[in-house]
Amino acid sequence: MRRYDVHTTVAGHTVLAGTITVSGYGDRAVTDFKYDPAYMYNPDSFDLAPSVRRIVGEYTTRQLPFFLQDAGPDRWGTHLIQRSFEAHRVGRNPDDLDCVVAASDRARQGALRLSDDDGNWVGDDEIPIHTELVDLLEAADQVAAHTDSWDAYAALLRTGTSALGGARAKASVTAEDGQLWIAKFPMEADRWDIPVWEKTALDLAERAGFTVPQTRLVQVAGRNVLMLKRFDRDGATRIPYLSMRTLLNNPDDGGRAPDYRDIATSLRHFGGEDLPDLYRRAAFGVLINNTDDHLRNHGLLRIDGTWRLAPMFDVNPEQETGRERHTRHRRQVHPARRRRWPD
């Protein structure tokens, strides 16, 4: 049985939100989450997910709740953790909780943190400084080439890269002023300069009036690396984050495809102020052929006591036409029931 305390940020302070207990591993794991009583009755607290309401003291699921999975990695980080399990001969594949636990505490997405029974932060790692990018790029190349160099995997794991989403090579780095950034690396198998194109897409989005992370391109060993400042941090304060996968309680894993209309329906519960922005994002994604707009590439930040759309991120133009978008709606809708987007 694995047990951890779960913390988040409330009114600028890290507070205990509840306790998670997981029995078993992998597909046989059963998860119990229980809100801390003080958190439940804190007037500034909030539901960690729409499906995990504070009115109920305990939730039991057959999988790790999505709001906790948000603090873990996607394919790139999971691959590194899998390699770590193999190198240390754990004897099984990492499950969702293993991946969240293995993620760097400092680099985890959003404000969720885990502590053990002794009160120690789980995954309390240092994040390398910007000047080590050339070493990280070399390590990323080795990992992408499926080499057997454990040193390369270990170097990237130490950066907190396991806390980041997406399938492409990346790492967390610390700028000279102490701020946390993400370094997104090119890959030798790329058919075009993807960091440059992502930077171009984000620049276009900013000029079109969208909120985007602060970005810059840097040259590392003659190649372009895209740097993005973390938008879920305000100095040393962590800002709660909720992915659209968690908002919709939809695994987005090949079942019924989610759609922007599903997101819009959920946003109405928060007042609907971001609906026009959501529509423009959908249109912008179509115009630049951004097909990788799955639910983990959209999210909400908790700002001034409410959930608002997070800045646009992972906006990658796809140069091959005809590829289906992740959020394309496949369900047939009767014309009389079609919803009209807000003006």
User: What was the pLDDT predicted at 250?
Assistant: 81
CATH 3.30.200.120 maps onto the chain at 130-233
CATH 1.10.1070.20 assigned to 240-337? yes
Write the secondary structure of the chain as one string of H (helix), E (strand) and C (coil): CEEEEEEEEECCEEEEEEEEEEECCHHHCEEEEEECHHHHCCCCCCCCECCECCCCCEEEECCCCHHHHCCCCCHHHHHHHHHHHHHCCCCCCCCHHHHHHHCCCCCCCCCCEEECCCCCECCCCCCCEHHHHHHHHHHHHHHHCCCCCHHHHHHHHHCCHHHCCCCCCEEEEECCCCCEEEEECCCCCCCCCHHHHHHHHHHHHHHCCCCCCCEEEEEECCEEEEEEECCCEECCEECCEEEHHHHHCCCCCCCCCCCHHHHHHHHHHHCCCCHHHHHHHHHHHHHCCCCCCCHHHCEEEEECCEEEECCCCCCCCCCCCCCCCCCCCCCCCCHHHCCCCCC
**pTM of this prediction exceeds 0.75:** yes
Residues 34, 22: Cα–Cα separation, whole Å = 12
Segments in the chain below pLDDT 70: 57, 125-131, 148, 158-167, 252-257, 321-343
pLDDT of residue 173: 87
Q: Are 267 and 275 in contact (CB under 8 A)?
A: yes
Say what the pLDDT of residue 330 is: 43
Of 211, 180, 40, 47, nearest to 109 by C-alpha is: 180
Residues paired with residue 13 on neighbouring β-strands, in sequence order: 10
| Interatomic CA distance for residues 210 and 190, integer angstroms | 28
What pLDDT, on a 0 to 100 scale, did the predictor assign at position 235? Answer: 87
Which residues are CB-neighbours of 41 under 8 A, at least 6 positions away? none
Residue 1 tokens, joined: 């049985």
Residues of the chain with CATH 1.10.1070.20: 240-337
Domain 130-233 is in which class? alpha beta
- Note the pLDDT tens digit of each residue in 25-76: 988 899 999 999 999 999 999 999 999 999 876 889 888 999 999 988 877 7
